[in-house]
Structure 1
Amino acid sequence: MALDMDTNELLVIGYFDLLIHQVHGEWATKNKKILLYVNLAQRLCKKFRKIEFQHTPRAQNEFADALATIASMIQHPESSHIDPLRISLKEEHAHCFHVEAEPYGKPWYNDIKMYLEKWEYLEGITNGEKKNIRRMANGFFLNKEILYKQTPDLGLL
């Protein structure tokens, strides 16, 4: 895409340090599947007047990962013009904007959070409802004020 835009100088930022060193020719490429990719990248590098590679650790690259995910979901038009994205950073996590309150003013997870936080139940609930709350609470993790859903691989949502 950079070549199609007649770009002469390019800064490539990547989190895969091994690949950056392989494209530079500093490290050997043993994996045959990656060798074709490295060779193609090296040929493309020669088409720029100046190209620079910068390593960014993956942990510091969350924003770029999010943009790449968004870009992979968008149908690109046939024209070379793509409207710019308007991105704003929020003070709260995105999930805070999508939780709907129940009619009594509390979110659906209130009973689970209260149980994990204080080991208490709402007044007037039955033993069956208490058992259900305890069972559901096993699938959640409370970190300060944020309630996370645990996935089978111990990830947190």
Structure 2
Amino acid sequence: MYFDGASNIRGNGAGVLLIDPYGIHIPFAVKLSFPTTNNTAEYEACIYGVKAALAAGAKYLTVYGDSNLIISQTIGVWRVRDERLQMYTEYLQQFIPYFEDIDFKHFPREQNSFTDALANLAVNLTWENNVKIRAVTIEESDSPVVNLEHMIAALTLQDDKDAWYADIKKFLITGRYPEESHKKDQLAIRRLAAHFVILKDRLYRKGFDGTLKLCVDKKKYKRSWEKSMVVNAVRT
């Protein structure tokens, strides 16, 4: 079991992560709607996790927390001087006999990011009392929802003959301006052209991060979109 507490100007929260013998992760985020300190929030999180483990039928439990104070006070290494923390310590001790074996270990804060995120999630969220919130599902995606191979950041949906970049492309290839263009128009074209490049007769816009974004016309965009939908449908 991993626990962490949070107390700041935005509010108070507790984060708990239970991991069963099969490796299933069970997260809890508890909003503490009453005044707490950092230390009492840590105790709230620890006690909440221990009680949740008991409710799940755990007999063996290793408790990890990044609060050296709470861990040291719980195992008796440090003396509890604060009366309020003394009450928390005594309350926590009541649950220890229900386990066949329970250990409390200090865990570096930088490795306790999951429960820290849960605690801060509880701090930052607000909801009405009668609203029921189901478990949050956390997944990982290794690819974008849109197939970027077939949709390369289209900059226009216009027909190529009416595309706004037609004058820019012509200027980059020939160095000429549109007929009857005014000096202001020519200046605008020169400035815009500085952000584009021609590669193999194709016009690309230079991205701020160094990437190149292909300018495509409406028909090519539509074909790319339809092809992308077919590919994604087959993969699904």
TM-score of the pair, normalised by structure 2: 0.32
Higher CA-based Rg: 2
Higher relative contact order (CA 8 A, sep 6+): 2
Larger proportion of strand: 2
Given the two structures, how large is their TM-score scaled by the length of structure 1?
0.46
